[in-house]
Amino acid sequence: MAGQSVGGGSGARIEIGVQRVSQLFNMLDPFPFRERDLDPDAEAFIVEWARELPRNAPIHILVHLPADEAASAEGRGLAEALSHYFATQERTLAAELRELFRIGRLSLAIGGAVLAVCLALAGLISDVMGLERLSGFAGEGLLILGWVALWRPMEIFLYDWWPIARRRALYRRLAAAEVRVQANG
């Protein structure tokens, strides 16, 4: 597979050269051609090139094929198949993001409850125990435990969702990409 990325006035281009359309798709996938998964190497190739393109530029994918392959049913349906694949991946990432936020909300509720219980226990220990040092030690330990319980939800809401959202936006752009097949020879 050969490729290049060329910036253009109305977008950025990814070029792929293959001898057969089947090189782009996972041959173990039993689905019809237009619903088949991309070959992992082909997907990685396209995605890596797309990552390097300007985020606001539309993407154009140019696939170079021998003339007989370009004229085949698979060659004529290549644009639809690529668009379908990337749209499916975008929907999968959207579901993954929704699930991550669901887990984040649940974790936040649990962490908030643990923090509230820890703060209440720390106050109770301070009131019940007359020993300042021991109650201070126990109270600080409970306070730390309460804040640690909020660690995971904060990690989800502050950091974990960014890479998924970025990949989702990239796959959305790839699903909307203009795909052209150029017959060689």
For the chain, 185 residues long, give each residue's pLDDT as a single digit of tens.
544 444 444 678 999 999 999 899 988 777 777 788 899 999 999 999 999 999 889 999 999 999 999 999 999 999 999 999 999 999 999 999 999 999 999 999 999 999 999 999 988 887 777 667 777 788 889 999 999 999 999 999 999 999 999 999 999 999 999 999 999 87
* Cα–Cα distance for residue pair 11/1, rounded to 1 Å: 22
Q: For residue 44, give the nearest of 16, 81, 10 by alpha carbon.
A: 16
pLDDT of res. 4 = 47
| Cα gap 40→51, rounded to integer Å | 16
Q: Which pLDDT score is estimated for 2?
A: 47
- For the chain, the domains span 2-91+175-184, 93-166
pTM for the model? 0.82
Ramachandran area for residue 11 (φ above 0: left; ψ -120 to 50: alpha; else beta): left
Q: Find out whether 16 and 31 touch, Cβ atoms under 8 Å.
A: no
